[in-house]
Structure 1
Amino acid sequence: MRAEATAAMLICALTACSAPSSMPAPSAAPATQTAATASQPAVAVTQPVKTDCAKASARDFDGDGHDDIAIGYTGRVGRVHVLSADKVITIPEPPGNRAVDFGRSVTMAKVNDDDCIDVIVGAPGGTVAGKTGSGAVYILYGGAAAPPRRLVSLRPEKDANFGESVAAHGDLIAIGAPNERPGGAVYLAEKGSISRRITQETRGVPGTSEPDDHFGEHLALGPLARGGVGLMAGAPNEHQDGPGRQDSDGLDEPPGAVTVLHDVTAANLTGVRLPPPTDKNGKPCGSFGENLAYVPHAGPAALSADCGLLQFYDLDLDLNLTRTVAAPGPSWAGALSASGDGQVAALWNDDNDPALLLLSLRDPAKDRRISGDHLRYAIEGGMTFSGTRLVVGLDWTADLAIIDLATERAELVKAATGQLSVGSIAG
């Protein structure tokens, strides 16, 4: 794709971004409206260049002192951009068909020892050792400190989709291979090298690996109260219908499962299964495990869009339920993100009435709702905090809505053209 065609900034008119005044609000907080910016900043398109990272901010890929946003695009091949201040950095995709689905998942981590953040990119459709769909993950070093590093499964397997999901905490990276037989796997990488493989057959991990569980399709990492790094692994096709190994043929729609491991760096793993939420009739909600987050200083959170429920759990090893938040209306999909200071954003998608709640776990009286017509086009799972901003991925003429949380003003950004759709974002 030619550089002059790869990026443009799109700022909507005020009337296009404001929310309908009749939009209902949840009982916890009054409705608000999202205003739009009126100016159009310049955008330059660049390639990664070697940079001194001494002045880098906390989430800074190119060392310019500004926190950056990584955007993964899906398409025939895929692409990754890094939005940095007034420029878009285009990441060259790895050569050949190894890069299929490059950008399906992205996260950020400080893998090496400099101060620039590194971007971790999943390419779950890639070919490894002649096995199509085995998948790969690429570490793109901030400041162009080193060439990209490629990680692959310890046991490459056709259609295993290694890299379908990625999550990070510090220099620890979790990588999901949800179709690796028999029921999915999660890999850990430390300092840029694979160090561990975890399945539901691993000692100390609850559950049993069964075909189509999709264990590891969604992931989150975060610190626990008693030390160690906890792992949340979603298995949205898990049935949870009794002990032993089940055959999914003929069973009802699976409710899904969320496994929490207490310390994934410990020699001996221990973990629990979170009880699935139920609807008003007592039936387990479907697709539990599709939206996960670790809330710093609070604990794990899981959103079940099918039932419109967001549940929070404490940091103790028994992971008690501490709070449930209900969507203010119907939903068909969702997105969940947590900030470094403990704020939580939950987005329930509904074409007629999208609901974005900004939640304060320390003081629920400060919960508020952010509205805007552009939220009707939010992608499933595509939301991240970036400093004092909330970034929402869009499936529309814009790629992102960047919301200033102090003013609730939204800037709509178009960073790619052609047959590309936003698939994942990280900030």
Structure 2
Amino acid sequence: MSSIRRPRLAALGAVLAAGSLALSTAPAVAITGGTPVAGSDTTHAYTAQITIGAHDRGCSAVLVDAEWLLTAASCFAENPAASLAVPAGAPAKPTTAVIGLSGTQGAERRVVEIVPRTDRDVVLARLSRPVTNVTPAQLATAAPAAGAELTFAGYGRTKTVWAPLELHTGTYTLDSTAATSAGVTGQNGAAACMGDTGGPVVSGGKLVGLNSQSFQGGCLGTDETQTSTAGVIARVDDLASWIKAKAGGTRIVDFNGDAIEDIAVGDPMATVGAETTAGLVRVVHGGGKGNAEITQDLDWVPGGAEAGDHFGNHLATVDYNEDGYTDLVVSASEENVGNGVDAGFVDILFGGKNGLGSGPAARHFEQGSGNGSIGASTPETGDRMGAALDAGTTAEGKPWILIGAPGEALGSLAKAGAAFYVHGDTNVSINQDTADVPGAAEANDAFGTSVTGDANFIAIGAPGDAIGGDANAGNLAVLSHRLNADGRPSVVAGMDQDNEKINAGAEAGDKFGQALSMVAYRPSGAATATDSILAIGAPGEALAAETGAAQQAGAGNVILVHLKADGAWDYLHALNQGSATDDRSGTIEAGDYTGSSLSAVNTAPREVGSAATLKIAVGTPGEDLAGVTDAGAIHTFSLMGSAGANDLWIEAGDGDGIPGSPGAGNKLGTSIHFTPRNLYAGMPYGPAATGALHVLPFPNAVPGGTSMPATTYQPGKGGLPANGDYFGYSAR
């Protein structure tokens, strides 16, 4: 840039204003010669103050999305004078951001993920929770012309104060523009100081860049002979599409925080030591970073491996402690607790820099221990706590876990069932004796057999519930995350097939609610994903292949329901196999048990939902193929489009990625997990004696996609230990 002579560029690079505060005990410190911003002035409220480590460094940043900041890579680089390279993933040191700081007030969040650019001094920093009371900055669409006046802001040191707790602004003149940066000179003695790095640079109210480098003339701690206010800003006016793609993407499972997807696979029947069916979980770290085996015999996992525990039979993932590392929720639903045989329990195993077990100590949930409703309950024979699991975050970003205990007795009502909603440091029980929960608690209702949830709602299935005298017809309850006066999620609705909206007719053995899956989506006209689609499996449903034909017992059916933001709901349509008079794949047959498992996904949660972005995988484990029984299949559909025009049939050997050929008793479709990247298809019953997990790239699992190579994980291959029994029974 024209105002800086070539011999001085090295000095400029040496003071990449990463804002080191090694000599300070205060947080990040502001613009020399600039103007303090009054607490009532919210013009630059999107500016954030960042503290890295135990005040090791302080920087500034700018909110560009409710969950994301833009700031300088040099804030996080190990030695910014030598290299701006920053690894993607969880920050190396705990990092705090305060957005909209006014005096001592502001929205405090933890930075949990770094997404670096490789071409400039810029990173995106994901926040632990959205910021809803500050309007993000809007990006410019082009760089301003030379000579333009730019406003810059930050929380760095001033001429006289090392750590002021107020935002300062100043004015630059734009000297020259390069592809990814621009040269600037501060007006009226204003210069960016240490701690201002990453702060916004604005032209005409739009964000054009970030403070990157400065001679720091006049800043506290700078040699008095250094008077230059020249500097360099990192351009961001061309990054809108990059920011949108990153902000609108879905989270991956990342136990070690390296921004590469990991996989956890349950084998609940595996032998551990001499204990048969004790169960274990195997973790495959992405990027070729090795595998890990988790059993209850590890000193950081609660309990001890015992025969019949079935550890790993259900899995869920969530960053429960909001530190940027994915945590694994794992159940041992047949664990004996005290005198309760198969009482069951659940653990949260926390991720960390070296994967699961390297984070905080595990959190353990068993009835009769701890606080809340779980602590107040009694472990009893057959409770099977953890027989269903789900986890996620609310629209506010608050983590939650939902635990099913379908064998829970309520008074004298054996196997009436219950669920536990875990949030923060407490938990509450939900059952059909809870106020406002639809239905009445009865023996064998098995409430909690299935659980699901998203950012808006949760749902709990009771497939054993009798409806109008029809045993095992099934029903379910839908609740929101909004807590009522009792501290429980608020009831939204109850559903069964006798409801006039569904108009299907509850019948004995339908098992409506045996499987559930829910996904949030953005309806047309809404700004965010306020609504949800709930898929309800009724694998026992009898259907006729053709009008007037005989009913096929256990053909199976899936009902789709639209849950609106206000809790109202509408029936959408049913998903099932085809007939001679429609365009759906497959054939309705007795014993297919379509809907035994479900997994819904939204590939673009920020966008208005469409047939292309809202998908579901439906398990049909009883499907007979090629003359063999219970070979199984997976059927994918759109959640919004017409069934037949948007479905794909997947069976072994058809080219989609499941190898071999259909085999008797393999029951493909028993274990499925759909993500925007892959369809995980577990085959714990064979043909491999150990079980296997097949990972089909997303295009393989939807119509019109270009087939890509699939990956198979199997004990004894790819570095996995050879022992396994039901490997692939669960996967996340």
Q: Assess, with a 3 A threshold, how the Cα gap between structure 1 residues 392 and 262 changes in structure 2: closer, same or farther.
A: same
Matched with 1:128 is 337
1:179-194 matched pairs, under 5 angstroms: 179-182=407-410, 183-191=416-424, 193-194=425-426
In 2, the alpha carbon distance for the partners of 1:103 and 1:90 equals: 11
Matched with 1:6 is none
**Amino acid aligned to 1:339:** V
Q: Assess, with a 3 A threshold, how the Cα gap between structure 1 residues 389 and 165 changes in structure 2: closer, same or farther.
A: same
Does residue 232 (structure 1) correspond to residue 232 (structure 2)? The answer is: no
1:8-87 matched pairs, under 5 angstroms: 54=113, 58-75=252-269, 76-85=277-286, 86=288, 87=290
Matched with 2:681 is 392
Q: Percent identity?
A: 23
Q: Assess, with a 3 A threshold, how the Cα gap between structure 1 residues 310 and 332 changes in structure 2: closer, same or farther.
A: closer
Could you state the TM-score of these two structures normalised by the residue count of structure 1?
Answer: 0.76
Matched with 1:262 is 480
- Is the CA contact (8 Å cut-off) linking 1:103 and 1:423 kept in structure 2? no
In 2, the alpha carbon distance for the partners of 1:134 and 1:264 equals: 29
Does residue 176 (structure 1) correspond to residue 400 (structure 2)? The answer is: no
Q: Assess, with a 3 A threshold, how the Cα gap between structure 1 residues 424 and 108 changes in structure 2: closer, same or farther.
A: farther
Displacement of 1:71 in angstroms is 1.4
Displacement of 1:129 in angstroms is 4.1
Does residue 332 (structure 1) correspond to residue 593 (structure 2)? The answer is: yes
Partner deviation per Cα, 1:111-140 (whole Å, 9 max, x = no partner)? 012111100001112233443322211111
- Is the CA contact (8 Å cut-off) linking 1:302 and 1:312 kept in structure 2? yes
Matched with 1:91 is 294
Higher alpha-carbon deviation: 383-392 or 57-66: 57-66
Unaligned stretches of 5+ residues in structure 1? 1-49, 225-229, 243-251
Q: Assess, with a 3 A threshold, how the Cα gap between structure 1 residues 258 and 132 changes in structure 2: closer, same or farther.
A: same
In 2, the alpha carbon distance for the partners of 1:358 and 1:276 equals: 23
State the structure with bigger RCO (CA 8 A, min sep 6), 1 or 2. Answer: 1
**Amino acid aligned to 2:364:** R
In 2, the alpha carbon distance for the partners of 1:64 and 1:58 equals: 11
- Is the CA contact (8 Å cut-off) linking 2:471 and 2:509 kept in structure 1? no
1:137 to 342, 346, 359: 346
Aligned-partner SS, 1:96: coil
Displacement of 1:208 in angstroms is 1.1
**Amino acid aligned to 1:304:** A
1:160-309 matched pairs, under 5 angstroms: 160-170=383-393, 171-182=399-410, 183-191=416-424, 193-224=425-456, 230-241=457-468, 253-263=471-481, 265-267=483-485, 269-276=490-497, 283=507, 286-297=510-521, 298-307=532-541, 308-309=556-557
Does residue 405 (structure 1) correspond to residue 675 (structure 2)? The answer is: no
Displacement of 1:172 in angstroms is 0.2
Q: Assess, with a 3 A threshold, how the Cα gap between structure 1 residues 164 and 347 changes in structure 2: closer, same or farther.
A: closer
2:620 to 327, 348, 361: 348
In 2, the alpha carbon distance for the partners of 1:355 and 1:289 equals: 20
Q: Assess, with a 3 A threshold, how the Cα gap between structure 1 residues 162 and 351 changes in structure 2: closer, same or farther.
A: same
Higher alpha-carbon deviation: 128-137 or 210-219: 128-137
Matched with 1:147 is 361
Partner deviation per Cα, 1:237-268 (whole Å, 9 max, x = no partner)? 111226xxxxxxxxx64112222223463436
Unaligned stretches of 5+ residues in structure 2? 1-89, 93-111, 116-250, 270-276, 353-357, 368-373, 394-398, 411-415, 522-531, 542-555, 578-585, 604-613, 627-631, 700-705, 716-720
Displacement of 1:419 in angstroms is 5.2
**Amino acid aligned to 2:304:** G
**Amino acid aligned to 2:616:** V
Matched with 2:320 is 111
In 2, the alpha carbon distance for the partners of 1:207 and 1:295 equals: 24
Q: Assess, with a 3 A threshold, how the Cα gap between structure 1 residues 306 and 82 changes in structure 2: closer, same or farther.
A: same
- Is the CA contact (8 Å cut-off) linking 1:51 and 1:145 kept in structure 2? no
In 2, the alpha carbon distance for the partners of 1:370 and 1:352 equals: 12
Displacement of 1:51 in angstroms is 10
Partner deviation per Cα, 1:49-86 (whole Å, 9 max, x = no partner)? x9957569632112232222221212220101122224
RMSD: 2.9
Displacement of 1:412 in angstroms is 2.4
- Is the CA contact (8 Å cut-off) linking 2:295 and 2:311 kept in structure 1? no
Displacement of 1:294 in angstroms is 0.2
In 2, the alpha carbon distance for the partners of 1:292 and 1:274 equals: 12
Which has the greater radius of gyration?
2
In 2, the alpha carbon distance for the partners of 1:323 and 1:264 equals: 28
